[in-house]
């Protein structure tokens, strides 16, 4: 390899050359004078600038792009308001462990602090939702600091900020364009791996929880081999349904909110749990379906690339700071020729796995609608589809290789039971940050990264209002995604709290919307209203087919107002009022 050489260039050239050196071919954003000097030469560097409708959309698209491709997602915007518009999406990318590099031109260095136009202090705003903040404090350092942002985003798997005073794009500098630095993580400490292998060898009912780290490490193959060696059931961690192939006999489905009862019942029997590439987030192991399933007495082995999450939420017997793929391979190596306690009861465990999976499949098949009094009431005279039946139809019609992003809402949450994937990098849920408005722009970014795969966004009608402006982007840029809008005429997930805790004092939860199919057409996209179960599958298939022509389609699913189990029963309590004027509000 040749040593990079120092060359005369402008800081704009140094920035754009650093993007190119990192393999960047797409950047999302809204045009702005602050970085126009760099934008001008994007085409010559082979970079497509994708103009969006709102900067939040740009950063979500960068997130979806990164999650689908495993490469950096990049976005840029105008200093001040363009940058503050990034905030929500950067926070979401932070909790999704997404290597987004967001470039934030800021007010010029010679006027900082004078309160001129579009000025705000752009580093503190992002200080808690970034893995690294690079500030170009001198134009001569543009290439160095830009390269560091790209390196750190991969090293720490999360968003990094490249902050550039807008006058620092100009100048005459000597710069070296660094080669990207990718640091391997390795399997982890040998003694910890020995300890983990000993625990697994002695386990009579080992269970694997496969998390997002398995996907990010490209370690699904190793996870499969390790599971097969132990004949251990594998649960997906919450909202990572693509961390283990659903067609595999050892797959049991997702743990957590609206997940798989089979997974929860099997993990509850574990004497040793191998948490592979998961931080065991607190929301992902809360009781579900009235079941406390987390095995309190089990020994936990946790593997994670971020040492700080080891033992953070659940105490662990062995913590391994390593790459999920490499650690799984190292465990296979240690266990391969060793007597395994679980070999003795293998056929009995096999039967248990099959029985739990069959029971859950049967229950899910018969769970055609919600059965609580509110749901029965609102669905009784409704001409519309039951959400669960509609979700089942979508599941049946789901094209091969599909990528599905899901939003935050009641129906999106219920969809968790019906989303099964055979390939990693297929499910992009609004993870722990939980912002409504996530799914659609993320699907757009994923589609740009993987144009040959079907991209489908699941969005509630409330969340749709937050994000639908990116239909403009899809129409202009020919981004062929399919949006499934669940039209139940309400902010359902929050309404569920009114039902359960606030004696049905509905406030600000009912929605009146125009026809979302007509709105889509007005934006230059395709739109269709679906109110019959038999139309769901064909409509999805036709919309996915049209993706090849860069056609974005909105399928508006007309569903009843019934509501599944709530998100946060754990975090709410019945209202208490002491003042006389509020007495009836209990």
Ligand X SMILES: Cc1ncc(C[n+]2csc(CCOP(=O)(O)OP(=O)(O)O)c2C)c(N)n1
Q: Which does 405 bind (CB under 5 to 8 A by kind): ligand X, Mg ion, none?
A: none
Using DSSP's 3-state secondary structure scheme, residue 365 falls into: helix
Output the smallest distance, CB 148 to ligand X, in A.
Answer: 31
56 binds Mg ion (CB under 5 A): no
Output the smallest distance, CB 493 to ligand X, in A.
Answer: 3
302 binds Mg ion (CB under 5 A): no
C-beta neighbour count of 489 within 10 angstroms: 18
How far is the C-alpha of 482 from the C-alpha of 469, rounded, in Å? Answer: 15
How far is the C-alpha of 397 from the C-alpha of 399, rounded, in Å? Answer: 6
Closest-approach residue to ligand X (CB)? 460
87 vs 542 by CB, closer to ligand X: 87
295 binds Mg ion (CB under 5 A): no
How far is the C-alpha of 487 from the C-alpha of 469, rounded, in Å? Answer: 17
How far are the Cα atoms of 23, 279, 304, 436, 499 from residue 321, in angstroms, in the given order?
29, 11, 5, 33, 44
One of 93, 463, 525, 543 touching ligand X (CB under 6 A): 463
Output the smallest distance, CB 405 to ligand X, in A.
Answer: 13
30 vs 466 by CB, closer to ligand X: 466
Using DSSP's 3-state secondary structure scheme, residue 350 falls into: helix
Characterize the bridge pairing of strands 234-236 and 553-558. Answer: unpaired
411 binds ligand X (CB under 6 A): yes
158 binds Mg ion (CB under 5 A): no
Q: Which of residues 474-503 bind ligand X (CB under 6 A)?
A: 486, 488, 490-494
Contacts of 110 (CB under 8 A, 6+ apart): 167
64 binds ligand X (CB under 6 A): no
Q: Which does 257 bind (CB under 5 to 8 A by kind): Mg ion, ligand X, none?
A: none
- Segment near ligand X (CB under 6 A), from 45-53, 136-144, 403-411, 534-542? 403-411
Closest-approach residue to Mg ion (CB)? 460
Output the smallest distance, CB 509 to Mg ion, in A.
Answer: 9
Contacts of 514 (CB under 8 A, 6+ apart): none
488 binds Mg ion (CB under 5 A): yes
208 vs 493 by CB, closer to ligand X: 493
Site size for ligand X (CB under 6 A): 19
460 binds Mg ion (CB under 5 A): yes
564 binds Mg ion (CB under 5 A): no
How far is the C-alpha of 473 from the C-alpha of 207, rounded, in Å? Answer: 44
Contacts of 316 (CB under 8 A, 6+ apart): 275, 300, 301, 302, 310
99 vs 462 by CB, closer to Mg ion: 462
One of 287, 311, 434, 537 touching ligand X (CB under 6 A): 434
Cβ atoms of 122 and 83 within 8 Å: the answer is: yes
One of 213, 424, 460, 566 touching ligand X (CB under 6 A): 460
Question: Rounded to an integer, what is the distance from CA 201 to the centroid of its chain?
Answer: 34
Contacts of 186 (CB under 8 A, 6+ apart): 322, 323, 326
Using DSSP's 3-state secondary structure scheme, residue 520 falls into: helix
Burial class from Cβ neighbours inside 10 Å (0-12, 13-18, 19+) for residue 228 reads middle
One of 253, 409, 424, 566 touching ligand X (CB under 6 A): 409
394 binds ligand X (CB under 6 A): no
Tokens (6 digits) for 434: 């939980």
Output the smallest distance, CB 232 to ligand X, in A.
Answer: 35
Output the smallest distance, CB 563 to ligand X, in A.
Answer: 7
29 vs 462 by CB, closer to ligand X: 462
Torsion region of 256: left, alpha or beta (phi above 0 gives left; psi -120 to 50 gives alpha): left
How far are the Cα atoms of 18, 209, 291 from residue 171, in angstroms, in the given order?
17, 52, 64
Output the smallest distance, CB 538 to ligand X, in A.
Answer: 23
Output the smallest distance, CB 491 to ligand X, in A.
Answer: 4
One of 11, 57, 492, 527 touching Mg ion (CB under 5 A): 492
List of residues contacting Mg ion (CB under 5 A): 460-462, 488, 490, 492
List of residues contacting ligand X (CB under 6 A): 408-411, 434-437, 460-463, 486, 488, 490-494
């Amino acid at each position: 390899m040749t040593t990079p050489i120092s060359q005369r260039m402008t800081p704009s050239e140094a920035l754009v050359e650093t993007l190119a050196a990192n393999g960047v071919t797409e950047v999302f954003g809204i045009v702005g004078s602050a970085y126009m000097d760099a934008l001008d030469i994007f085409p010559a560097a082979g970079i497509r600038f994708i103009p969006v409708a709102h900067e939040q959309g740009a950063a979500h698209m960068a997130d979806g792009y990164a999650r689908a491709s495993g490469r950096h997602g990049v976005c840029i915007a105008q200093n001040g308001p363009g940058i503050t518009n990034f905030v929500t999406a950067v926070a979401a990318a932070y909790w999704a462990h997404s290597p987004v590099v967001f470039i934030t031109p800021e007010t010029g260095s010679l006027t900082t602090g004078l309160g001129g136009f579009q000025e705000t202090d752009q580093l503190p705003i992002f200080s808690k939702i970034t893995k690294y903040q690079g500030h170009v404090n001198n134009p001569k350092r543009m290439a160095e600091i830009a390269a560091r942002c790209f390196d750190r985003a991969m090293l720490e798997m999360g968003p990094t900020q490249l902050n550039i005073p807008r006058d620092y794009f100009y100048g005459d500098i000597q710069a070296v364009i660094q080669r990207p630095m990718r640091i391997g993580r390795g399997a982890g400490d040998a003694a910890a791996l020995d300890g983990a292998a000993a625990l697994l060898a002695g386990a009579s009912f080992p269970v694997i929880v496969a998390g997002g780290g398995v996907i990010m490490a490209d370690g699904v193959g190793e996870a499969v081999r390790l599971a097969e060696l132990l004949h251990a059931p594998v649960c997906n961690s919450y909202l990572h349904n693509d961390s283990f192939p659903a067609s595999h006999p050892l797959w049991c489905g997702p743990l957590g909110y609206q997940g798989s009862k089979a997974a929860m019942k099997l993990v509850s029997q574990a004497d040793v749990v191998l948490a592979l590439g998961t931080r065991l987030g607190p929301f992902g192991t809360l009781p579900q379906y009235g079941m406390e399933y987390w095995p309190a007495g089990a020994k936990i082995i946790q593997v994670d690339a971020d040492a700080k999450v080891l033992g953070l939420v659940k105490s662990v017997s062995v913590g391994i700071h390593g790459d999920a793929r490499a650690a799984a391979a190292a465990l296979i190596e240690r266990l391969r020729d060793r007597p395994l306690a679980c070999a003795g009861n293998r056929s009995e465990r096999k039967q248990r796995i099959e029985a739990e999976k069959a029971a859950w499949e049967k229950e899910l098949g018969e769970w055609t609608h919600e059965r609580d009094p509110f749901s029965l009431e609102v669905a009784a005279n409704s001409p519309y589809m039951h959400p669960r039946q509609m979700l089942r139809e979508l599941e049946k019609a789901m094209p091969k290789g599909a990528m599905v992003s899901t939003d935050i809402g009641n129906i999106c949450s219920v969809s968790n039971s019906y989303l099964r994937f055979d390939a990693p990098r297929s499910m992009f849920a609004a993870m722990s940050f939980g912002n409504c408005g996530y799914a659609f722009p993320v699907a757009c970014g994923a589609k740009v990264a993987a144009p040959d795969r079907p991209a489908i966004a699941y969005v509630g009608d409330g969340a749709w209002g937050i994000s639908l402006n990116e239909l403009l982007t899809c129409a202009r840029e020919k981004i062929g995604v399919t949006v499934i809008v669940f039209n139940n005429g309400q902010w359902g997930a929050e309404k569920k709290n009114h039902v359960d805790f606030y004696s049905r004092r509905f406030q600000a939860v009912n929605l009146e919307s125009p026809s979302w199919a007509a709105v889509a057409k007005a934006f230059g996209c395709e739109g269709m209203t679906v109110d019959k179960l038999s139309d769901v599958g064909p409509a999805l298939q036709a919309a996915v087919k049209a993706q090849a022509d860069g056609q974005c389609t909105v399928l508006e699913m007309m569903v009843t107002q019934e509501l599944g189990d709530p998100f946060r029963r754990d975090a709410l309590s019945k209202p208490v009022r002491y003042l006389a004027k509020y007495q009836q509000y209990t």
